[in-house]
Every structure is written in C-alpha cells, then in structure tokens.
C-alpha cells in the first residue's frame, strides 16, 4: 500500500473507534470551550479511549506504524507525554517502540527538584511529543520549549486526533521546526459519520458549517 492509502485506512479506523466509543460530542446550544477560549459546537474526548482496551490497542498499533513509517525506526530516543492526556498514550507507544518514556508537566512542580520533565534522557536526545489531540496547536509549544530547555531535541509531535481545521495547528509548530502527525481529523470523522448515519441531517449541517468556517461560527442565542 502507498503512504496515502495507509494514512486513509488508519484515519477511517480511528474515526470508527471514536464514534463507537462515543468520544464524539456535539452540542451547539452549550458550546465547548478550547484552551484558547474559542467556542466550538463539537468536541472529541480522546481521554475516553483509555477505558476501551481493544480499541486503544488498535490505535496504538496504528500509531506505532505511522511513527516508524514517517519518522523512522531509529530516529527517536524517547517518547514524551504531555500532561495530562498525553501520558497514557505516550506510555503505550513507548512500549511498542521499545523506547524510554518521559512525561512533561505544563509547568515545573513547585517543590523538590522543581522538575518539569520526569524521566531520564541524555543531552541531545531526540524526543517525540505525544498528546491526545491537537486543535489550534498552541499548547504543544510549551512542551516543545520544555524539552529543548532540558537539553533535548524535538522535531515531531504525534496525536491521536488532529482537528484539521485550524491552519495555526500546523504553522505554529512548523515555525518551531516541529512536524505534526495525527491518525484522523474531523473531516474523517464527519465523512464516516455521514456514511453511517450517525448524525441527523440538521446535526450534520451544523457540524459541517463549523468545520468549513470555524472563525465565522457563532453559538445560537439562548
């Protein structure tokens, strides 16, 4: 299979798992709020996946395959999970790739060694940042800076789900020399949901209107 075919197969499997585990949420009347403050009628809750052993095992197999195919078998020295949602996925991926695992706090802990990164890695170690998802990409920059401040190098980050509708999620990381890799986007989920009839026609139209123009979306008045 070509890289494109492998990516598409992974995206469809991931979208199916997200729908089956009810990790896809839609509520235009009470929108969800991103870390940036942006309002959204849709939300993906990848944290739910940790409670579904067979589904998460399949996702971790897909993750390991994508990482080795896109980044390389011997191009990484450690896998780092971002606090908090990235930590379990980083642990499972590190196990599959037989690599050391780290985790990164959002800020240094206020006692003891004042550490922001837990785990051991050498100066210049090539670190892959793992998180559950990427929406606008801003939270990843803090973790990237923490790795570099601790003496590591980082050129890649991996997520289970990438919203895929905010250019800044890619460009902000690219400006720091970091590539973003993900198994599926909202377009993959919406396409499969439409084929399966997972949303009513009004729900489908509402979600698509947000995905097509998120900056123009306005929550309905109460």
- H-run or E-run covering 156: strand 153-162
DSSP sequence for 91-126: HHHHHHHT--EEEE-SS--SSTT--SEES---TT-E
- pLDDT value at position 99? 98
pLDDT the model gives residue 149: 93
Give the largest CA-CA distance in the chain: 55
What token pair was written down for 91? Answer: 């642990």
User: For the structural domain made of 3-216, what CATH number should be given?
Assistant: 3.40.50.2020
Q: Which secondary structure element, helix H or strand E, spans residue 65, and what is its range?
A: helix 53-70
Cα 21 to Cα 193: distance, rounded to the nearest angstrom: 13
Residues in the chain with pLDDT < 70? 109-114, 220-222
Q: Which residues, listed in sequence order, are joined to residue 43 by a DSSP beta bridge?
A: 25
The tokens of 121 are what? Answer: 């890695």
What is the 8-class DSSP label of residue 165? -
The whole-number pLDDT of residue 110 equals: 56
Question: ∠160-33-175 over CA atoms, to 5°?
Answer: 55
What are the residue boundaries of the structural domains of the chain, listed by start? 3-216
The residue assigned the tokens 């009470």 is 30
pLDDT of residue 112: 42
Digit-coded pLDDT (tens) for 37-76:
888 889 999 999 999 999 999 999 999 999 999 999 999 9
Alpha-carbon separation of residue 57 from 49, 51, 153 (angstroms): 10, 11, 28
Q: Rounded to an integer, what distance in angstroms lies between the CA atom of residue 109 and that of residue 106?
A: 9
pLDDT in tens, 36-45: 788 888 999 9
């Amino acid at each position: 299979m070509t890289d494109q075919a492998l990516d598409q197969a992974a995206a469809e499997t991931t979208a199916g798992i997200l729908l089956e585990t009810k990790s896809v949420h839609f509520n235009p009347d009470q929108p969800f709020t991103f870390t940036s403050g942006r309002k959204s009628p849709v939300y993906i809750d990848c944290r739910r996946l940790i409670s579904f052993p067979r589904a998460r095992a399949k996702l971790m197999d897909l993750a390991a395959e994508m990482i080795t195919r896109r980044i390389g078998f011997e191009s990484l020295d450690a896998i780092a999970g971002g606090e908090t949602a990235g930590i379990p996925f980083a642990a499972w991926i590190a196990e599959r790739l037989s690599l050391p695992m780290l985790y990164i706090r959002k800020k240094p802990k206020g006692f003891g060694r004042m550490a922001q990164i837990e785990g051991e890695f050498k100066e210049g170690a090539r670190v892959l940042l793992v998180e559950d998802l990427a929406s606008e990409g801003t939270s990843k920059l803090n973790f990237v800076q923490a790795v570099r401040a601790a003496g590591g190098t980082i050129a890649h980050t991996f997520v289970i789900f990438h919203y895929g509708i905010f250019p800044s999620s890619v460009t902000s990381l690219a400006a720091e020399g970091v590539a973003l890799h993900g198994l599926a986007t909202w377009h993959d989920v919406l396409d499969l949901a439409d084929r399966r009839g997972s949303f009513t026609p009004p729900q489908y139209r509402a979600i698509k209107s947000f995905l097509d123009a998120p900056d123009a979306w306005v929550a309905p008045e109460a």
